[in-house]
Structure 1
């Protein structure tokens, strides 16, 4: 696997290098569409790994000629919920130009917010107008709304604790062994420990923000199940985490 982490991996998008260079982004890996065998997003490092016949290419953002799939049309034809840091560029003429400007706008919003993860909200995609608009003022208004229709997050720091392994997950009265990848940090603002990550595989849940208990090696903690991802479900909690942490005093408020 290559150790280089590109800013953008462009898959089957021949004009990507030119457009991104004009936007000030030069660390771009350009792959022809058939070269990409599979792609995997690391939710801890906020990077994509794209497997080709010769190597694995890593990058922070993927721009692809084809949408990643799903039950809903891509938002504005460029982004899909459950596929963070992944954008689609398709269509000819003016619609393609507008979509490129929108994607570049998303990258600029990420840079300004010092975010390393961006994902369109499910509600945004579900309620969006699926018509292909080419009006300049419409797309300018859409670009102004980027901070309110995407979820932005920052990368896990080197000082954060990370646990990747089996856990007992209790949800909706059912306890199962699941692989989890969890990380956390002590927030200097509120003085509390915040942890989050992914529970891999299917879970017996019908609604988001459902309470869940996660136990690792005799330690357990309550959290909330978030929206589904391509690999399972997001999970987050505040307070003592379900995995061991070193040299950290965790404040648990009295109830």
Structure 2
């Protein structure tokens, strides 16, 4: 696992990551940044992390590989599994940040959404360390409305970031992302914190606050889920179809199956009559209604070309 720290204030986090044996750490410092105040501790047997005095022009999250693509000046590109932006870099990325350069650091997360767009109405984070929609990205010194109320804020954030990077490695995951519900609830409690005379403690990050996954966890267990039209002799029923299938190596045919959920509360009884299932823009496909499941939905099966498109049959 490679951790890239971007910014001039990387030394404390680097030491913390080395302490938990995250040894593959790379630091990217702005070319104009001053040298570190404290040199690397003498007497250590492990070498310091590579430090590149080079400007970072942009960050793009590769959703297929679960890693960040780091665009460097001079047309170079680097990659990292985890990226941590230090306080000076985060401040430059804020829509209203102090010292904002003419061209702030572009950070593009999932679904092509940029951090600048996500913070168009003001920065929203979870405890100033993570942002939903930007996996494998942590902020050290990120915007947090409770920052003036906390002591040792930087060390607390370093402890949290180190713990979650260790958790990702321990669970053999490739993607870690704060949940949208967690981020929303945190800001809801912030609003109560400002008005309550005796505000409650917000607590620290818990295991359920983040999703740790691999690509296989995010792959849907079905091939199609969406609207469809069930056509029986003399009646049509709009349904929500959840369908999947596989090619049988013995008979060489494609077998598909699934569940039909009602749209308006009405579904026919299972019948031996051949039904037709039509998806939007697709040709109606013959199928059989086999039975009702325990929740009152219909189970449907078919053989041959499925009602949903496939790249290869």
Q: TM-score range by the shorter chain?
A: 0.5 to 0.7
> Which secondary structure state, in structure 2, belongs to the residue aligned with residue 148 of structure 1?
helix
Deviating above 6 A after TM superposition, structure 1's stretches of 4 or more consecutive aligned residues are: 247-250
Q: 1:31 aligns with which of 14, 17, 28?
A: 28
Which digits, 9 at most, give the CA deviation of each residue in 1:158-201, with x for residues without a partner? Answer: xxxxxxxxxxxxxxxxxxxxxxxxx958xxxxxxx5579xxxxx
> Which secondary structure state, in structure 1, belongs to the residue aligned with residue 141 of structure 2?
coil
> Which secondary structure state, in structure 2, belongs to the residue aligned with residue 37 of structure 1?
strand
Q: Is the 8 A contact 1:20 1:26 kept in 2?
A: yes
Q: Whole-Å Cα distance in 1 between the matches of residues 62 and 254 of structure 2? A: 28
Q: 1:43 aligns with which of 39, 49, 63?
A: 63
> Which secondary structure state, in structure 2, belongs to the residue aligned with residue 18 of structure 1?
helix
* Aligned pairs (5 A) from 1:42-191: 42-54=62-74, 55-65=76-86, 66=90, 68-69=115-116, 70-71=118-119, 72-90=123-141, 94-128=152-186, 129-130=189-190, 141-143=203-205, 145=206, 147-155=207-215, 184=219
Task: Determine which structure has greater relative contact order: mean sequence separation of CA pairs < 8 Å that are 6+ residues apart, divided by chain length.
Answer: 1
Q: Whole-Å Cα distance in 2 between the matches of residues 88 and 52 of structure 1? A: 19
Q: Is the 8 A contact 1:240 1:251 kept in 2?
A: yes
Normalising by structure 1, report the TM-score: 0.56
Question: CA 1:194–1:211 in 2, change beyond 3 Å: closer, same or farther?
Answer: closer
Q: Tell me the residue number matched to 1:252.
A: 257
Question: CA 1:45–1:195 in 2, change beyond 3 Å: closer, same or farther?
Answer: farther
Q: Tell me the residue number matched to 1:14.
A: 10
Report the structure, 1 or 2, having the larger strand content: 1
Q: Whole-Å Cα distance in 2 between the matches of residues 41 and 64 of structure 1? A: 14
The answer to whether residue 244 in structure 2 is matched with residue 239 in structure 1 is yes
TM-superposed CA distance for 1:21, in Å, is: 0.8
Which digits, 9 at most, give the CA deviation of each residue in 1:33-67, with x for residues without a partner? Answer: 46110111111110000100142110110100216
TM-superposed CA distance for 1:32, in Å, is: 1.4
Q: Whole-Å Cα distance in 1 between the matches of residues 15 and 22 of structure 2? A: 10
Which digits, 9 at most, give the CA deviation of each residue in 1:107-143, with x for residues without a partner? Answer: 1221232211111111211221457xxxxxx69x524
Between structure 1 and structure 2, the one with the greater Rg is: 2
Q: Is the 8 A contact 1:44 1:156 kept in 2?
A: no
Normalising by structure 2, report the TM-score: 0.46
Question: CA 1:87–1:33 in 2, change beyond 3 Å: closer, same or farther?
Answer: farther
Q: Whole-Å Cα distance in 1 between the matches of residues 70 and 227 of structure 2? A: 32
Q: Whole-Å Cα distance in 1 between the matches of residues 157 and 253 of structure 2? A: 45
Q: Which runs of 5+ in 1 are unaligned?
A: 1-5, 132-137, 158-182, 186-192, 197-209, 214-222, 225-236
Question: CA 1:123–1:52 in 2, change beyond 3 Å: closer, same or farther?
Answer: same
Q: Which runs of 5+ in 2 are unaligned?
A: 32-54, 94-114, 194-200, 229-239, 259-298, 301-313
